[in-house]
Amino acid sequence: MHTESNPIIKSALYVVATPIGNLNDMTPRAIAALKGADVIAAEDTRVTGQLLKHFNISTPMVSLREHNEHSMAEKLVARMLAGETIAQVSDAGTPAVSDPGALLAAAAHAAGCKIIPVPGASALTTALSASGFNCPHALFYGFLPPKTKQRCDALSELKDQSFISVFYEAPHRIVDCLNDMASVFGPDREAVLCREITKTFETIRRLPLGELAAWVASDSNQERGESVVVVNAAPRATKADGADYDSVLLPLIAELPLKQAVALAVSITGAPKNALYERALTLKKEA
């Protein structure tokens, strides 16, 4: 196991994950990074101020949020090039994951500054770990569009994919979001709602989307706090067996040329053309 004898490196950017609810999830390394930095770039200095107060951290802060990230990144990189160490945090969780942070990291890369991630809490990985979905691939989508039409369009692109999809959603949109998911993915697709993760009223509920949408709509408490929705991968399509369609193929190939018989069978059954063609060839040989 690696430990750092001198954990704070000069002219570096520390990207520090902070708790998403339970303050006991703050790591000793994160505390050391925030204490040892020359300045902390915080999404909201008021929110981070409460965290610093709890852990007796007196490092000065500057505000780095969505609307000023570009200009602040230039200033902070200049400070790093002058020898200072910057620690970056978002309000909760890991910076740049549906939060500000990417522009500062990109600017630090471009300037040749060292970037040191300090891992910790993340709603994304926490929700995935609790979902119980056994799939090696996952897509983190983040926040869906707020309007129903655009949201459904985005979901439609994911409905048949063979990976888990993970979404963040705001409290006032969670019911509409789940209803749209049930409509697009189908009411039987399994999903997990992870609400208020690590907080006092944490909810982890796994149900088919239709039932999950109805359950949330029936309990207004489930519309409070931030949510992560984990949707299972689309079920794998079973390989079509042409023999399943013999009752259609046999009378057709008895009366029609092979290609015409297969084309008509595809039109009738909706089965894959290749599977029906291979089966038709077999039936011809056996006739």
Q: What is the 3-state secondary structure (H, E, C) of 133-200?
A: CCCCCEEEEEECCCCHHHHHHHHHCCCCCCCEEEEEECHHHHHHHHHHHHHHHCCCCEEEEEECCCCC
Residue 89 tokens, joined: 């945090």
pTM over 0.95: no
> What does the pLDDT look like over 146-191, one tens digit per residue?
999 999 999 999 998 999 999 999 999 999 999 999 999 999 999 9
Do β-strands 190-195 and 227-231 pair in parallel, antiparallel, or remain unpaired?
antiparallel
Give the whole-angstrom CA distance, residue 224 versus residue 221: 6
15 confidence band (pLDDT: 50, 70, 90): very high
Sign of the torsion formed by the C-alpha atoms of 255, 259, 265 and 268 = negative
> What does the pLDDT look like over 194-211, one tens digit per residue?
999 999 999 999 999 999
Residue type present at position 107: A
Q: What is the structure's pLDDT at 287?
A: 66
> What does the pLDDT look like over 93-151, one tens digit per residue?
999 999 999 999 999 999 999 999 999 999 999 999 999 998 899 999 999 999 999 99
92 confidence band (pLDDT: 50, 70, 90): very high
